[in-house]
Amino acid sequence: MGNKTKHSAKKLEKKLRKLERELWTYEYLTKITQFDGATIAPENGAAARGEALAALSSAHHTLLTRDASRELIHDLKKAAAKGRISGQLADEARVLARDQREASAIPTAEEEAWTRLTCEADAVWHKAKLANDWASFEPYVDRIVETLKRHAGYLDSSKDPYDVLLDQYERGLTAKSFDAFCDQVRETVVPIVHAIVERGYQPNTSFFDARVPADLQKKISFDLIELMGIDRADTTLAFTEHPFSEGFSAGDARIATHIYEDNLISNVYSIIHEAGHAAYELGVDPAYSYTCLAGGTSMGIHESQSRFFENIVGRSRAFMGPLLGVLRRRVPAVFGSVSEDELYRAVNIAQPSLIRTEADELTYPLHIMIRYEIERLLFSGEATARDVPGLWADLTRRYLGIEVPDDTHGCLQDTHWSGGDFGYFPSYALGSAYDAQFLIAMVGDGIDVGAACAAGDLAPIRSWLEQKIWRWGRSKDAPELIELACGQPFDATPYCEYLAKKFGALYAL
């Protein structure tokens, strides 16, 4: 009997690993194809790429949800309940079971209709944004919200639909908890933003206006990737419209950036930000390779890693030495006469602005709140798409104190809604908030963060993040990771204190 059980657990493991490897292959090929499409593929290859991606998506879905896979997950669950599998294998079974449940929830016919709807919506949004024409996009927003409500019901009919969506992007997140987060952050940030505007002082940033050729910016990019501690053999630099990063395998996480010759600093912080994402992917335990535990665990945790590199390290006073070192070596004519203090003030300029992706560290969460509150109203039925431009203008005035000139620079600026990504925005804001808590825990664990930044040797910081966050891949959800790293659940207070202290000092409020 004991032998039979053992044999059977071994057999289950073998079957599971085979399934995971096949699923991984589809995922890997999807990422390679998408990366190709976003970086180097010629324009006229789009149709064929679409065919290949659709085939991959369908094959992945079929494999994950077919009867044999369901039976396997069922058997694994039973084996786990009886304690016959444990450790990594049990984690794999648990995570794959959730993936399977979520992939199976939406009926195939609805899945296809959804793909068509979002494809169409995306094409309409592109034109609408260029033409400042909310009216053309408006009906799609209502239809997408309606469809997502139904989808949420398939996933979990016992919960509020919007909570189901939030949970897809950040496990355990609810509107109630994010409401509380927003209230606390808003009470801290809005008065600071208004005080900065009233004070009227802004630092000199004229040295960022210098034209820096693409070739030189590329060299600077590699300097920064190295400074972030990433092995050149583990990454590559590609070029794209909107910067992003993607993890492909244990030794392969890439950075795609956009170089503007008249905006060096945009590329500098894109690289540092994306290097944070790449470091996370590269730091996952190699034992998880080719399993469902590979990769980052959530949007919020991923964003926390990119923003730890970008803001906690990259915009810290201590890091100005190494950063200025790179800039002076590569562009001496411009940065030779800039001091560390001047650079520190310039990279931390805070001011209300219209575009989320260009917002600074202080005002960024307010941009998220505008989107979040509108999403909440759309899902509660208190608003329809027709109300969105008005809501956008009101909230922007209230939080940022500025007027929205048109929908192109307002409610049409982001691509997320056209793709059906409602509930996604909050994860962006949470990342920075997690960071403030991670920083406290890191310092509490004896890491001299300032000294590491000042020395331009991030090894102690990387090592802490690797142990506490990166290595766990998808084996732990965000709430568990935070507890593990910080010894307590998520709390927005450190974030509010961090922002108040940093920007209070910068603007002498």
Q: Give the binding site for a copy of itself (CB under 8 A).
A: 21-22, 25, 28-29, 32-33, 35-36, 39-49, 51-52, 55-56, 214-215, 231-236, 238, 248-252, 254, 289-290
Helix (H, G, I), strand (E, B) or coil at 239: strand
Q: Smallest distance, Å, CB 235 to a copy of itself?
A: 5
CA–CA dist 414, 328 (Å, integer): 35
Q: Among 205, 179, 246, which residue's Cα sits nearest to residue 35? A: 246
Beta carbon nearer to a copy of itself, 213 or 405: 213
Beta carbon nearer to a copy of itself, 249 or 263: 249
Helix axes 493-506 and 175-199, enclosed angle (nearest 10): 10
CA–CA dist 103, 498 (Å, integer): 39
Q: Among 420, 406, 429, 403, which residue's Cα sits nearest to residue 495? A: 429
Q: Smallest distance, Å, CB 51 to a copy of itself?
A: 7
Beta carbon nearer to a copy of itself, 387 or 466: 466
CA–CA dist 385, 379 (Å, integer): 11
Q: Smallest distance, Å, CB 94 to a copy of itself?
A: 24
Beta carbon nearer to a copy of itself, 35 or 434: 35
* Active-site residue identified among 274, 303, 361, 375: 274
CA–CA dist 360, 248 (Å, integer): 30
Beta carbon nearer to a copy of itself, 262 or 445: 262
Q: Smallest distance, Å, CB 502 to a copy of itself?
A: 35
Q: Among 415, 413, 391, which residue's Cα sits nearest to residue 132? A: 413
Phi, psi for 244 (deg, rounded to 5): -155, 170
Q: Smallest distance, Å, CB 234 to a copy of itself?
A: 5
CA–CA dist 130, 85 (Å, integer): 55
Torsion of CA 432, 437, 441, 442, to 10 degrees: 20
> At 406, which amino acid appears?
D
Q: And the tokens for 234?
A: 């583990």
Q: Which residues contact 31 (CB under 8 A, 6 or more apart)?
A: 246, 248
Beta carbon nearer to a copy of itself, 214 or 355: 214
Burial of 117 (0-12, 13-18, 19+ CB in 10 A): middle
- Continuous segment of H or E residues that includes residue 259: none
Q: In angstroms, what is the C-alpha Rg of the chain?
A: 23
Question: How would you classify the pairing of strands 244-249 and 237-239?
Answer: unpaired
Q: Smallest distance, Å, CB 99 to a copy of itself?
A: 19
Residue 22: Cβ within 10 Å count: 16
Length of the chain as a residue count: 509
Q: Smallest distance, Å, CB 24 to a copy of itself?
A: 8
Beta carbon nearer to a copy of itself, 232 or 329: 232
Q: Smallest distance, Å, CB 287 to a copy of itself?
A: 14
Alpha helices in 40-133 (DSSP H): 46-65, 67-81, 87-105, 108-131
Largest CA distance in the chain: 79
Tell me whether residue 274 is one of the annotated catalytic residues: yes
Q: Which residues contact 4 (CB under 8 A, 6 or more apart)?
A: none
CA–CA dist 323, 220 (Å, integer): 10
Alpha helices in 291-424 (DSSP H): 299-307, 320-330, 332-335, 340-347, 364-380, 388-400
Q: And the tokens for 149?
A: 């409500």
Q: Smallest distance, Å, CB 229 to a copy of itself?
A: 15
- Continuous segment of H or E residues that includes residue 257: strand 252-257
Beta carbon nearer to a copy of itself, 22 or 480: 22
> At 86, which amino acid appears?
S
Q: Smallest distance, Å, CB 252 to a copy of itself?
A: 3
Beta carbon nearer to a copy of itself, 1 or 47: 47
Beta carbon nearer to a copy of itself, 92 or 281: 281
User: Where in the sequence numbering do the catalytic residues fall?
Assistant: 274
